[in-house]
Amino acid sequence: MKNVLLCIMVLIVATCLVAGCGELRGFGEGSSGISVGINEKFVMVLDSDPTAGYSWHENHDPMMLELVGRTYRKGEHAKPELAGSTGGVEYFTFKALRTGEAKIIMTYERPWEEETIKQVVFTVNIQ
């Protein structure tokens, strides 16, 4: 699973470099030691299956980070164990605004339910 996620992140970076948007780095579950510069953009990459009503919701300090984009791509990394699933990947693009440490809290949930089935916390060091 980590190899597939790594391939997806490599594709994102390669596409971005060809398109001329600089060095856009991608991070997924299990990423640690995230370090970026001020005004640098980076992407959080997370498996998702909206056909079941679930999606990722992010929470961050808007003084430290700006969410500049969010996209979903169906079938890019669909989990085969989800029968009948048309899952894919959600991409959250952030821009670092000031130096310091910022947390991005990602929760995977259905908006109409109180229960969160998964939570991932990323710590970003902005230099």
Place 51 in a pLDDT band, splitting at 50, 70 and 90. Answer: confident
CA–CA separation, 98 vs 127, rounded Å?
Answer: 8
- Band of residue 16 on the pLDDT scale cut at 50, 70, 90: very low
**How many domains does one find in the chain?**
1
The predicted pLDDT at position 17 comes to: 35
Owning domain of residue 29: 2-126
What's the CA dihedral at 56, 81, 25, 109 to 10 degrees?
Answer: 10
CATH number, domain at 67?
A: 2.60.40.2020
* pLDDT exceeds cutoff 60 at 115: yes
Count of helix runs (H) and strand runs (E) in the chain: 1, 8
14: DSSP letter: H
* CA atoms of 44 and 30, how far apart (whole Å): 11
Q: What's this model's pTM, rounded to 2 decimal places?
A: 0.74
CA–CA separation, 89 vs 73, rounded Å? 5
pLDDT at 89 over 60: yes
